[in-house]
Copies of this chain bind each other. A is one copy, B any other.
């Protein structure tokens, strides 16, 4: 059966999303077709030109509303400007904010160093980070890149470049995930958990 074009177009578009295969794409399209509420149209409206309505913060390169110079966080004077948490992606800012355990500012690199993929320091927002540090009001940089090969390489690169500046450079602790099971932890994680063991008193 050749599906009606509007339906096939929709299925094709859904299929291009990450983690959505042909069957899920069909299911989503037919769900929207059956849905009593206006979800399909709401989604269309939310998607329509949404990229143009967004911009990057000129300070930390987090996402902000188009037309605004700074993001929500850089614009908030209650946030501690002397601590910068460096992340690969704006989505990581969201994750860290959900913990409600951090009151400093951020810096979004928009990627990680990857010689294999040809991504060097100039492809990331690394220069603006150094500029922020050079202004002198920063006393700690937390490197919160992903615990992957690229993330570690990026953290190493940054820490080497930041040595000599009058500041503390830290990175997120490695160890067992909370709620996890020791027997399921991989060797590297266990090794990091061992070497990074902390005094209990």
Contacts and interface: CB of A to CB of B under 8 A. Distances in A.
A41 B51 CA distance: 9
Secondary structure at the A interface, as helix, strand, loop or mixed, is helix
B48 A13 contact: no
B46 A91 contact: no
A6 B53 CA distance: 7
A39 B41 CA distance: 17
A51 B73 CA distance: 40
Number of copies: 2
A115 to B, nearest CB: 21
A24 B20 CA distance: 11
A43 B47 contact: yes
Contacts of A28: 17-18
A19 B24 contact: yes
Contacts of A10: 43, 46-47, 50
B94 A26 contact: yes
Contacts of A26: 91, 94, 183
23 contacts: A1-B93, A1-B94, A3-B94, A4-B54, A7-B54, A10-B43, A10-B46, A12-B46, A16-B37, A17-B31, A18-B28, A18-B31, A19-B24, A23-B183, A27-B91, A27-B183, A32-B47, A32-B50, A33-B50, A40-B51, A41-B47, A41-B49, A44-B44
